A and B are shown apart, each in its own frame.
Chain A
Amino acid sequence: MIGGVLKSVDKPVLIAAGFIVVVLAIGSTINTSFISPTYLLQQLQVASFLGIISSGMMLVILLGQIDLSLPWTVTTGAMMATAVAQFGPWGVALAIPVGLLCGLVVGIVNGLGYAYLRVPSMIFTLGMNALLLGLMVLYSGGFAPLTRATPLMQFLAVHKSFGIPNALFVWSAVTLALAVMLRTTPFGRYVYAIGNRESAAYLSGVRTRQVIVGCFAINGVTSALGGVMLAGYSTNAYQGMGDAYLLPAIAAIVLGGTSILGGKGQYIGTVVGVLLIVLLQSMLSVMQMPEAGRQIIYGVVIVVMLLVYGRGAKVHS
């Protein structure tokens, strides 16, 4: 049974999981409370935010594309949700849907820009990020908005049910939905097909442009969901709250064995990659390493891990 599960998982995912054990072992020698259930649950809660944000990005990376508008999509989702929350009971009820809707719109525009205008996604989403930044600066007047997160947002992000953080349930739900979609639905197959060779997928009858827009749209929604959760966690939305998530999200996805060129990668790998990144960051902060040393070790560890299992093939012809 266990052997069968292990066989169905890609080798990079297993190695990344092995690295998690190494990080936990090193962490526990520095401070024994590093592997206490309370601390680990807290880490899982922190990981939920990165996990949710990385989930949609993984679809985009599987297509062989990238979304650099992620930081301000996160912030836009958070700011719009808390803004709507100020308008009476209806506003409170609609806060999360409106936040997610904003993310959906951003994602669809990104998808249209790449799929139909064929502007390279890296550069189109870069422009989109600047546009969102402009819109949010205009909306907030350049200050942190005085709006507050709704009780539901705080419930999802901070509170616990049955001793387990609710954020973890949200992450699990997103994970389950996307993992099942990628594995069992035609849409999921199309994502891999397009990532491998879009022209072949197109000639096989896949409506590649719709699939691409769909992936970017899902990414917009999960980014905004991450923003809504983060706003709930810190009770308000603020400028640049998404900035710290773009590079860790990409790193987590790649460390989880997904090819940055697209077409290859398992969803479970992204979950493992997110846990690895979060535990690595928390181990470095438990070591009371100054910021400079943390950055250096963080970068070196990523390079070393990729040298172990993320190397590309030699180009011979």
Chain B
Amino acid sequence: MTRRDVRLLLARNRGPLLALGVFAVMFGVFLHEHPRQISVNLLTTASNKAVVLALVAMAQTLPVLTRGLDLSVGSIMTMSACASSVLVNGSPSHVAFGIVLVLFGGLAAGTINGAIVVFGRIQPIIATLATGAVYFGIALLLRPSPGGDVSEGLSNALTYAVFGVPSTFLLLIAVLLLVWLPFRHSVLGRGCYAAGSAEGAAYMSGVRVGRSKMAAYMLAGLLSATAGLLLSLVALSGEASAPQSGAYTLNSIASVVIGGTSLFGGSGGMAGSVIGAFVLRTIGDLLFVFDAPPLWQPLFEGIILLGAVSLGAARVLRIKNRLELFT
């Protein structure tokens, strides 16, 4: 690799790298200031809290890459968590069957989203807003009141550590390497980027735009369901909470943007969104170790979030022609 290649690689990944730098500083301060010694337990708790959001953010990345948006990711997550609190318990074969059903439900939800967007030609933001209400209704139907039972064996296996590395973190790496990398370099994945940059041009060049978009929404549904499954394993129960579902949807958009993916589609990736989710989750932890008064915490979180997303304004300083502003 020549020096020019390295520079190109750095330039192309400026967003995620910036987010990674911010995260490294924040997490470093967190570990340094933490009253207890760094232990596997500490890392595991931190990882468990962040991984659910990271998975939802990965799900959100795909529709955003195609210049769409999925406002139902939080609802699919909640629906899957509620389904898992009903299905994922009992004997090992029961548990396995339950997991398959939960993931299949997420995939089906994603397929419906994709079909409405691709074949129905309804704007994704409004289509997923409506389907999100439907999926949340199903969550309420499955679990009218909080509770349920989730396999503790599976929970223990997935929410602790393997060789000192939190297993949820390993799961995240596995999804990145085994799902995202192959998808990104597949015809479908490249089609997502093409559809996001210029749908008309992609169509004229023979890219199967519809198929790529469909894949993006389906995979988003599947990843949201994975997040829901994990959420139920961490909480050991299910709850159809509207504020929680809404917060995950909105935080997923924030994570995607902090991770350097453009809301206008066509550039970015899942790795950045994971880092974005970790940045968002670390804000709360940082305030905790600095003993911020609890009443001030939401305000600090708000200021940091607004500041983080405003970093994108740096683009305004770089442009040479004012017309470039309007793209």
Binding site for B on A (CB under 8 A): 66, 68, 113, 116-120, 122-124, 126-135, 137-138, 141-142, 197-199, 202-203, 208, 240, 243, 247, 250-251, 254, 259-261, 290-300, 302-303, 306-307, 310-317
Minimum CB–CB distance from A88 to chain B (whole Å) comes to 27
Q: Does any Cβ of A come within 8 Å of B199's Cβ?
A: yes
Q: Of B33-41, B88-96, B134-142, which binds chain A?
A: B134-142
B129 at the binding interface (Cβ < 8 Å): yes
Q: Are B306 and A296 in touch, CB under 8 angstroms?
A: no
The answer for the CA separation of A292 and B285 in the assembled complex, in Å, is 35
* Cβ–Cβ < 8 Å partners of B312 in chain A: 117-120, 123
Interface string of B119-160 (1 = CB under 8 A from A): 011110111011111111110110010000000000000000
Determine if B122 and A311 form an interchain contact, defined as CB atoms under 8 angstroms apart: yes
The bracket for how many chain B residues form the interface is 35 or more
22 example contacts (A-B, Cβ-Cβ < 8 A) are as follows: A117-B310, A118-B313, A118-B325, A119-B313, A124-B309, A124-B310, A126-B253, A130-B302, A134-B298, A137-B298, A208-B326, A243-B243, A243-B246, A251-B129, A254-B123, A260-B125, A296-B133, A296-B134, A299-B137, A303-B131, A303-B134, A307-B120
- In the assembled complex, the CB of A76 is this many whole angstroms from the nearest CB of chain B, namely 12
Contacts of A131 in B (CB 8 A): 299, 302-303, 305-306
> How long is the Cα–Cα vector from A137 to B302 in the complex, in angstroms?
11
Are B313 and A292 closer than 8 Å at their CB atoms?
no
* Known pairs A251-B129, A295-B137; A134 contacts B144 (CB<8 A): no
CB pair A134 B123 closer than 8 Å: no
Residues of A within 8 A of B133 (CB): 247, 295-296, 298-299, 302
Complex CA–CA separation, A291 to B141 (angstroms): 9
In Å, the complex CA distance between A142 and B310 comes to 27
Residue on B nearest A130 in the bound complex, by CB: B302
Contact (Cβ within 8 A) A292 B137: yes
Min CB distance B56 to A, Å, is 15
A residues near B254, Cβ cutoff 8 Å: 123, 126-127
The answer to the question of B203 belonging to the interface, with a C-beta cut-off of 8 Å to chain A, is yes
- Report the Cα distance A150→B238, complex, angstroms: 42
B130 with A118: CB separation less than 8 A:
no
Nearest A residue (CB) for B139: A292
- Assuming the A-B contacts A68-B250, A293-B137, A299-B132, are A306 and B120 also in contact, with contact meaning beta carbons closer than 8 angstroms in the complex? yes
CB distance from B123 to the nearest CB of A (A): 5
CA distance A251 to B125 in the complex (A): 10
Once the chains bind, are A118 and B137 in contact (CB under 8 Å)?
no
Q: Are A120 and B200 in contact (CB under 8 A)?
A: no
Known: A122-B263, A306-B120, A311-B122. Is A137-B299 also a contact (CB below 8 A)? yes
B295:A292 contact, CB within 8 angstroms? no
A211 → chain B, closest Cβ, in Å?
13
Residues 259-309 (chain B) with a chain A CB within 8 angstroms: 263-264, 295-303, 305-309
Assuming A291-B140, A315-B199, is B299 touching A306 (CB within 8 A)? no
The 9 closest A-B pairs by CB, nearest first: A134-B299, A295-B137, A127-B306, A299-B133, A131-B302, A299-B134, A296-B137, A292-B140, A117-B313
- Give, as a whole number of angstroms, the nearest-CB distance from A137 to chain B: 5
B residues less than 8 Å from A310 (CB atoms):
122-123, 126
Could you tell me the distance between the alpha carbons of A131 and B302 in the complex, rounded to whole angstroms?
Answer: 4
Which residues from B are CB-within-8-Å of A306? Answer: 120, 122, 126-127, 130
Check A122/B203 contact, CB under 8 A, given A130-B301, A295-B137.
no
Nearest CB in chain A: distance from B306 CB, A:
3
Q: Are A127 and B123 in contact, CB atoms less than 8 angstroms apart?
A: no
| Interchain CB contact under 8 A, A295 and B140 | yes
Contact A117 B316, beta carbon cutoff 8 Å: yes
- The answer to whether A315 touches B200 (Cβ under 8 A) is yes
With both beta carbons as reference points, the residue of chain B lying nearest to A109 in the complex is identified as B306
A304 to chain B, nearest CB (A): 9
Task: Choose one: A68, A243, A295, A315; the contact of B136 (CB below 8 Å).
Answer: A295
Any chain A CB within 8 A of the CB of B320? no
Apart from the given pairs A199-B327, A296-B133, A296-B137, 19 other A-B contacts in the complex at a CB distance below 8 Å: A118-B313, A120-B264, A127-B254, A127-B305, A128-B306, A131-B302, A134-B300, A141-B295, A243-B246, A250-B129, A251-B130, A260-B126, A291-B137, A299-B135, A303-B122, A303-B131, A307-B120, A315-B200, A315-B209
Contact B302 A132 (CB under 8 A): yes
CA distance A131 to B12 in the complex (A): 31
**B326:A202 contact, CB within 8 angstroms:** yes
Contacts of A315 in B (CB 8 A): 199-200, 203, 209
Bound-state Cα–Cα, A144 to B203, Å: 54
Q: Complex formed: what's the CA distance from A190 to B321 in Å?
A: 22
Q: Is B43 an interface residue (CB 8 A)?
A: no
Closest to B116 in A: A303
When the two chains form their complex, are residues B310 and A119 in contact, meaning their CB atoms are under 8 A apart?
yes
Q: Name the distance in Å between A297's Cβ and chain B's nearest Cβ.
A: 8
A202: chain B residues at CB < 8 Å are: 322-323, 326
Closest chain A CB from B261 CB (angstroms): 11
Measured between beta carbons, the chain B residues less than 8 angstroms from A117 are 310, 312-313, 316
Cβ contacts under 8 Å, B253 to chain A: 122-123, 126
